[in-house]
């Protein structure tokens, strides 16, 4: 997290204005008329990064916390006469359902919308229909027909299509940029190396849950022939996500863009697991048991029934960022090109070891475990930054 001095500096910065509003299905976002008029006359770029990342949320809950607020904001933003860009932060795992239909264990995912009823589907019209069903029943026919790992993934898939529909209605598709990060990890450089909010990092929460497992083995689902080496974890530094968002915004990129570590930066589960075991205090290593069961199976470890993707692998395309690097040409140094392109080496698990312990403590408290149990199971590690 940011230090007290950094927070104070931001709050005292005249370039930052904080508005206390409510992103819901309302016309005014609970802002005063004066504030609304100020926004209309001055705003050129809207970056919508607010989201409740809870893989356990139901689709109905997501409709209140994510989908309706996103629709509310874009409807309002598209009325701004000076609007140049609306940026929506989604997730690369909005298309995680492709795992079931893919012929490859390393599932290819392009920077596009994947219609749920085939390539000929009018995904604008189907999104409106599905949204009505979600509002009415808490689910939709297309959600029930596809194997999404969580409602969260489908909720983002539907949100992307709903926003595209809104932009299309106002002939503003060229103004909509959808950024799809993979798992967001600690910063590579900015504001300091290792900067993170531990409780919001999916891989850290997952590592903490495994760390608290006192047994000798954990059962996970996979379709890979050699899951130790073939299954991967795509985690991208948070500052790299921000860099890509800003560059694509400045270049006028429209549509879907992946912000991921990519095929050259992602880690094998084998490497990730080896590093995790080094942080356990128990004298025995925690072994992975792979099963071909469905990823919703009750026979899997509880954390895997939530995370779902540890035994999978996704080859997220980064073609639009590769093109962006080419456009920048000599206008940016090689180091910055490495960070923007698919060529940087993702942060290794060791940077996160200091973040695991506090997350494990929080999990233990929810289970009514004493704090000493965490000290027995998990090393404190070293935190690069807080």
Nearest CA to 246 among 89, 91, 90? Answer: 89
Regarding beta strands 267-268 and 232-233, do their DSSP bridges make them parallel or antiparallel, or are they unpaired?
antiparallel
For the record, the structure tokens of 339 come out as 């960070």
Cβ partners under 8 Å of residue 63, min gap 6 = 134, 135, 138, 155
The C-alpha atoms of residue 277 and residue 378 are separated, in whole angstroms, by 10
Phi, psi dihedral angles at 80 (to 5 degrees): -70, 125
pLDDT above 90 covers a percentage of the chain that reads 40
For residues 157 and 151, the answer to whether their CB atoms sit within 8 Å is no
Q: How confident is residue 281, by pLDDT bands cut at 50, 70 and 90?
A: confident
Regarding beta strands 85-89 and 267-268, do their DSSP bridges make them parallel or antiparallel, or are they unpaired?
unpaired
Residue 315: how many other CB atoms lie within 10 Å: 18
Q: Measuring CA to CA, how many Å separate 275 from each of 216, 267, 353?
A: 16, 11, 9
Look at residue 22 in the predicted model and tell me its pLDDT: 83
pTM of model > 0.85: yes
The yes-or-no verdict on residue 276 having pLDDT over 70 is yes
Q: How confident is residue 15, by pLDDT bands cut at 50, 70 and 90?
A: confident
The C-alpha atoms of residue 123 and residue 188 are separated, in whole angstroms, by 37
Across-strand partners of 88?
A: 48, 178
Note the pLDDT tens digit of each residue in 355-381: 888 888 988 998 899 988 888 888 876
Look at residue 332 in the predicted model and tell me its pLDDT: 57
Which alpha helices (H) appear in 172-268, and where do they start and end?
Answer: 202-211, 227-230, 238-251, 262-265
Across-strand partners of 236?
A: 184
Higher pLDDT, 354 or 263: 263
Residue with tokens 């494990």: 360
């Amino acid at each position: 997290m940011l230090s007290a001095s950094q927070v104070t500096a931001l709050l005292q910065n005249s370039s930052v204005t904080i508005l206390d509003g409510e992103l819901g299905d309302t016309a005014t976002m609970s802002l005063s008329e004066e504030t609304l008029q100020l926004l209309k006359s001055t705003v050129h770029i809207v970056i919508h990064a607010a989201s409740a990342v809870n893989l356990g949320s139901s689709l109905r809950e997501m409709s209140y916390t994510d989908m309706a607020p996103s629709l509310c904001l874009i409807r309002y933003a598209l009325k701004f006469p000076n609007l140049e860009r609306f940026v929506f932060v989604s997730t690369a795992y909005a298309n995680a359902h492709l795992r079931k239909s893919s012929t490859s264990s390393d599932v290819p995912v392009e920077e596009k919308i994947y219609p749920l009823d085939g390539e000929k589907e009018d995904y604008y019209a189907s999104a409106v229909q599905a949204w009505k069903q979600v509002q009415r029943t808490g689910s939709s026919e297309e959600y029930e027909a596809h194997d999404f790992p969580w409602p969260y993934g489908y909720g983002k898939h539907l949100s992307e299509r709903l926003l595209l529909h809104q932009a299309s209605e106002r002939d503003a598709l060229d103004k909509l940029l959808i950024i799809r990060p993979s798992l967001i990890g600690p910063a590579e450089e900015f504001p300091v190396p290792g900067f993170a909010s531990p409780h919001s990092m999916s891989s850290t929460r997952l590592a903490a849950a495994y760390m608290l497992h006192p047994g000798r083995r954990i059962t996970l689902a996979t379709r890979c022939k050699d899951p130790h080496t073939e299954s991967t974890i795509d985690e991208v530094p948070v500052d790299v996500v921000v860099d890509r968002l800003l560059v694509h915004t400045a270049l006028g990129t429209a549509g879907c863009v992946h912000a991921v570590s990519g095929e050259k930066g992602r880690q094998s589960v084998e490497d990730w697991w080896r590093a995790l075991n080094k942080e356990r205090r128990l004298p025995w290593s925690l072994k992975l048991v792979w099963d071909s069961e469905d990823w919703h199976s009750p026979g899997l470890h509880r954390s895997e029934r939530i995370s779902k993707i540890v035994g999978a692998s996704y080859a997220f395309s980064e073609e639009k960022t590769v093109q962006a690097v080419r456009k920048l040409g000599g206008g940016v140094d090689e180091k910055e090109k490495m960070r923007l392109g698919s060529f940087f080496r993702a942060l290794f698990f060791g940077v996160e070891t200091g973040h695991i312990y506090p997350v494990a403590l929080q999990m233990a408290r929810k289970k009514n475990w004493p704090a000493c149990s965490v000290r027995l199971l998990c090393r404190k590690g070293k935190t690069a930054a807080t």
